[in-house]
Amino acid sequence: MSPRERFEGEFWNSTTVLPVDPALGDPLTGPVSKLFRQPEVGLSAKWNHYFHVYDRFLGPHAGRDLRVLEIGIGRGGSLDMWRRFFGPGAVIVGIDIRPATAAFERENVHVRIGSQTDTDFLAAVVDEFGPFDVILDDGGHLVSQQIVSFGALYPTLALDPGLYIVEDLHSNYWPELIDERPTFIELMHELVHELHEPYSQVTSAFSTLFTGAETDDRRLADGPLDAGPQVVTSTFAAWTRAISFFDSMVVIEKAERMLPTHESLTD
């Protein structure tokens, strides 16, 4: 059932014409967006609304000595932008299938030529420069390319900050670029359910949080959850903090998760 079928009211059952941003063409104010528009930075193209995501997730890490992998080099400007943003101690790596993009290699910026669907090539890049702290996929826009790269690279991603960012996911809605199902966005929807695996295994204990009822004499006390048998989840669920959806972008945050705990504050 769609939201329009489930909910009543004008908000859910009306349409709106999207307005043109009155600030279109004006400098954006975040740290990444301001750097993007500096004339000394190389040429690249970005949707303006991406910068809010960059600033939110990458802004706190400006100047850090991170290892960054970008899939898809374009005209080289994005690699230059990340080099300046993260600073001289960072290692910036770009991969592309076009040999001509090797010309964008410079100090602290490395280029390797190969396909993002070649898992042996990806493993070699990780072996040479990784593990990466940030991976950005702005490469080929076929669904299969996005999924193969994610499946090969996400397990190798480091934990601090542990960001895997996929751009231009509007391509998942264009038939000519959907070469397999599920699409990347559909796959992320499925993985959202995996994040909640601990709760499906200890339903009776967690239900006391919301109903106050006791089931099998198990209740959520302060501190670690007393769930009886050990809670086993997929490795993905055990090492993923969040999946965030934005217009044409998904950000997956990798972090070690612990068994959920509950704390009660009393007078």
Say if residue 233's pLDDT is above 90.
no
Kindly report, residue by residue over 159-189, the tens digit of the pLDDT: 989 999 999 999 999 999 999 999 999 999 9
- pLDDT band of 64, cuts 50, 70, 90: very high
Instruction: Please state, in angstroms and as integers, the Cα–Cα distance from residue 73 to each residue in 81, 116, 231, following that order.
Output: 12, 12, 42
H/E element, 119:
helix 119-129
The C-alpha R_g of the chain, in whole angstroms, comes to: 22
3-class secondary structure, 115: coil
In the prediction, which pLDDT does 225 show? 47
In the prediction, which pLDDT does 186 show? 96
Please give the Cα distance from 83 to 93 (Å, whole number).
10
Mean pLDDT of the chain: 84
Say if residue 58's pLDDT is above 90.
yes
In the prediction, which pLDDT does 206 show? 46
Q: Give the active site residues.
A: 141
Dihedral sign, Cα of residue 58, residue 62, residue 64, residue 68: positive
3-class secondary structure, 71: strand
Kindly report, residue by residue over 195-204, the tens digit of the pLDDT: 988 777 655 4
253 and 158 Cβ atoms separated by less than 8 Å:
no
Mind giving me the DSSP string for 217-260? Answer: TB---SEE---SSPP---HHHHTEEEEEEETTEEEEEE------
